[in-house]
Structure 1
């Protein structure tokens, strides 16, 4: 089977190039392309959100009603876009997907997200049946698609094509589980009764991710270390017992990195290009970064950070450490949006250290590229990080990552103090500000006293490669196991 072409229906709530809120969108673009390059037949399907890019290029395919035995009925439209030569089907349903954002209004999720995405799961299978797609594997991603394995094994078990399909569920971030009260799933009637949990005071709810863990044929996590963490109470955010029960079907596969967009030798967003053989352009990028953010232009070390402002990203470890670290002769640059309280603390800190800290409460892709290129070090003190992409970008740009040893960060960075001959970054483990502060000072000391070693680390980092081709081969092995 591994040598044969497999028909993959890849289901995701977002796809890079069309709509993106996080790393899931990158996987949903680059993994299907890599699978296609290996000779597999891939079809993508996603909601037809209002603000999807290239919406005006979509081709209308069909319009039909979905009815359930519980008396539920809604009409959907089926549209088609293209990702290179891969067909991307889009589910249109105005009540559910014609909104300003995919998942939330501001910081708060839509109150009917359970119903919205339960309907999307049902619509995917109805659309696949109506299109008469040949499907060997249905590849689901996160809670938004996690009811599909259960529906395949129940409502569609007798379907001549879908009933024979095997399901794979990829966990991108298990903290988001899609837990909603039972009434949001009334479209299924009694079909979902086996999935319902009764909590305190008789409150009934359904955890969509848990359903996917229980009923998918295979489960993957977005890095090997994250797969191990999912077997623990802390790492699985309470779902550890269910992952433990499926331990033999759980595999960690490290995400790849898109080097077409993130390559310092060709990056069109940089003022100068450079390579591991000639780093002179990197110092021009550093000067440009300092000028762009109106920081003093000099050769003191710059520590960069690009991320959402959330607790997950380690800000409550970082902020107390910065209070002390900014007393040194350093510059710190942080851009991102999110938690308003974190933003306020960064603003106050910036006012105290106007020549050392620059915080930009926004997201700018050109500025993100300039920070990756112009910084000397890149900060990722995450509480948890299933895979992470910025540490891969940092390595490619010769910007030394300073990370907490969790999830995919630990799978991609080699610590200087543990393996100096192969090191490309600095790692700390206990989630404590004092530990991070010690490591920041360790990196600063290396910058001042070990410039030759740091130069070797940069060149070594730039030679690392995390390819989607390798990841695709590993997913093909999972598909083969599921089909056999």
Structure 2
């Protein structure tokens, strides 16, 4: 079976968030299951030179977008057995970063159009196109409007995956009509219309054959007004073709046994993990103490990640017998909050306001506890990496956090972490206090680690669910 992934970012080429990790690792696991999976992305300026030098041009053609006749080049590179195609148009993609430009509607309209037009030129007509997030959301619409009646394309099925419903690609209707050559019938409330404009995401949800999202709980949550971002009614109406499949992580890439960033490689040895902790404390200028837990946050410093809760009780958190390390960048108020706390409590807190993959790995390896108090979290990979590196998660019960972390129960000895249900600063504080208490209870701490060891958050099981879904759709 041939599957084409269409997405706006992928590791190791370009990354702004968790989407890139999924697109970089899920295809490898699907290929192991016998599928022919390829990926198509925009060719951004930020892709490192050592990749662009390896790319070969496979096609160049003129693409029609509305009244425009535009150049389109398709380049390819094979990485870890997966063919990655890159859509080349310097006017749209030769600029810093991936998103945030005034003409993003036109840029990603061009990308969606290029994905559809390129298939005949690259000699790869897939059985199924798997579209990821709003940037690829108009591909199913274009397919239905312009391609589905052509014999060589008639068999194609489309899947839309929502990685984060908050970002919907909403722009003016006139732009959509212009870029996609669509008639008025596509712009009613039952089609692309959203907030008086039109939405890439809504197009993907309505026109695709199937919708997935990145955890079973998030699939339920987005059908409610609180999490549904004004699309909850639509999603409830489509619930018969909506499924949550939990993201995995790349166990080869994220392996504390072989990770080159670590001081000491380990897997299930708590003693060796402690050696990484001592090295990390040294590097961060924290007192080298084994008797207190080191609590980590590796995150984007934004509202969604629950940082308002930390802000509310920061003084109380600093009174705990624990150390803290923060790694990330984001909203200025949260960057300032952690810098202030690190200045005021230099023996308790280290704030690294930067993005540093090597340091992130050292923090996963050196921390005892990993905090994710998210307001909403479609899947979350921080808690999965933390458990892979044997750091015990403390999470709010939402989305993928609820699906992947089981609260510790001292009576039965079950559970892989600590959790709280309500988005409330004091509930979080009590949960952190409880985790800190258990750190010093050797029996409970060993039990938690034994439970985490048994978990498998690799892509294997999730990829099987995707493969089954593709099979079902293609054979309908």
For Structure 1 versus Structure 2, the TM-score category normalised by the shorter chain is over 0.9
1:174 is the counterpart of 2:165: yes
Secondary structure at the counterpart of residue 233 of structure 1? coil
CA deviation map 1:72-100 (0-9, x unaligned)? 22111111111222221111111111111
Work out the CA distance in 2 between the residues paired with 1:72 and 1:192.
Answer: 20
Cα gap change, 1:192/1:473 in structure 2, threshold over 3 Å: closer, same or farther?
Answer: farther
Look up the SS of the partner of 1:312 in the other structure.
Answer: helix
The 2-side partners of 1:197 and 1:355 are apart by 56
Q: Select the residue among 331, 348, 359 that pairs with 1:356.
A: 348
Select which of 94, 101, 105 maps to 2:97. 101
CA distance in 2, matches of 1:94, 1:219: 32
In 2: Cα distance, 1:471 partner to 1:329 partner: 39
CA separation of 1:196 and 1:339: change in aligned 2, threshold 3 A: farther
CA drift at 1:114: 1.1
Counterparts in 2 of 1:78-89, with a 5 A limit?
Answer: 78-89=74-85
Q: Distance in 1 between matches of 2:336 and 2:422?
A: 26
**Residue pairs, 1:149-298, within 5 angstroms:** 149-185=140-176, 186-191=178-183, 194-195=186-187, 204-276=196-268, 278-298=269-289
SS in 2 for 1:326: helix
User: Where does the alignment leave 5 or more consecutive residues of structure 1 unmatched?
Assistant: 1-5, 104-108
Contact 1:7 1:42 in 2 (8 A): yes
Mapped to 2, the partners of 1:370 and 1:225 lie a distance apart of 30
Q: CA deviation at 1:258?
A: 1.1
CA offset digits 1:198-252 (Å, max 9, x no partner): 9xxx984111101111111011111111111111112221111111111010011
**Compared CA separation, residues 244 and 296, structure 1 to 2 (3 A):** same
2:55 pairs with 1:64? no
Cross-structure match for 2:408: 416
Report the Cα distance in structure 2 between the residues aligned to 1:329 and 1:159, rounded to whole angstroms.
67
Asked if 1:55 is matched to 2:52, the reply is yes
Give the Cα–Cα distance (whole angstroms) in 1 for the partners of residues 255 and 81 of structure 2.
24
- Find the counterpart in structure 2 of residue 140 from structure 1: 131
- Alignment gaps of 5+ in structure 2: none
Residue 309 of structure 1 pairs with residue 301 of structure 2: yes
Q: Could you tell me how far apart the structure 1 residues matched to 2:390 and 2:237 are?
A: 41
**Quick check: 1:153–1:163 contact (8 Å CA) kept in 2?**
no
The reply to whether residue 345 of structure 1 matches residue 343 of structure 2 is no
TM-score under structure 1 length normalisation:
0.93
Partner of 2:111: 120
Instruction: Note if 1:436 corresponds to 2:428.
Output: yes
> How many pairs does the alignment contain?
468
Q: Secondary structure at the match of 1:163?
A: coil
Helix, strand or coil for the counterpart of 2:449? helix
Partners of 2:277 and 2:339 lie apart in 1 by: 23
> Does the CA-based 8 Å contact 2:58-2:122 persist in structure 1?
no
Work out whether residues 182 and 196 of structure 1, in 8 Å CA contact, stay in contact via their aligned partners in 2: no
Q: Aligned match of 2:71 in 68, 75, 94? A: 75
**Is the contact between residue 397 and residue 462 of structure 1 (CA under 8 Å) also seen in structure 2?**
no
Residue equivalent to 2:389: 397
> Which residue of 449, 456, 460 maps to 1:465?
456
- Gap change, CA 1:246 and 1:197, over 3 Å in 2: closer
Q: Return the alpha-carbon distance in structure 2 between the equivalents of residues 81 and 193 of structure 1.
A: 40
Residue 26 of structure 2 corresponds to 31
Distance, in Å, in 1 between the alignment partners of 2:158 and 2:215 is 19
Task: Give 1:456 shift.
Answer: 1.5
Moved more, 254-263 or 115-124: 254-263
* Rounded Cα–Cα distance in structure 2 between residues aligned with 1:57 and 1:196: 45
Given the superposition, is the C-alpha separation of residues 419 and 118 from structure 1 closer, same or farther in structure 2, using an over 3 Å criterion? farther
Q: 2: CA distance between counterparts of 1:171 and 1:445? A: 38
Distance, in Å, in 1 between the alignment partners of 2:296 and 2:189 is 44
> Cα offset for 1:418?
8.0
Aligned-partner Cα distance in 1 for 2:313–2:250:
32
CA contact (8 A) 1:178 1:208 kept: yes
Q: Distance in 1 between matches of 2:408 and 2:40?
A: 43
The CA deviation at 1:367 is 1.0
Q: Cα deviation per residue 1:414-461 (whole Å; 9 max; x = unaligned)?
A: 10148742211000011111110111111111123x221112202321
Shift of the alpha carbon at 1:192? Answer: 6.6
Q: Deviations over 1:240-277 (max 9, x none)?
A: 1111111010011111111112222222211112232x
Deviation at 1:61, TM superposition (A): 1.8
Q: What do residues 375-417 of structure 1 show as CA deviations (whole Å, max 9, x unaligned)? A: 1100000111111111111112221100000111111111014
TM-score (norm 2): 0.95
Q: Mean Cα displacement is larger for which, 224-233 or 461-470?
A: 461-470
Residues 121-151 of structure 1, C-alpha deviation per residue, up to 9 Å, x if partnerless?
A: 0110000133342311010000000111111
SS in 1 for 2:63: strand
Aligned counterpart for 2:322 among listed residues 321, 330, 343: 330
Contact 1:79 1:90 in 2 (8 A): yes
Conserved? CA contact 2:63–2:114, under 8 Å: yes
Moved over 3 A (4+): 189-193, 195-198, 417-420
> Structure 1: how far apart are the matches of 2:72 and 2:313?
52
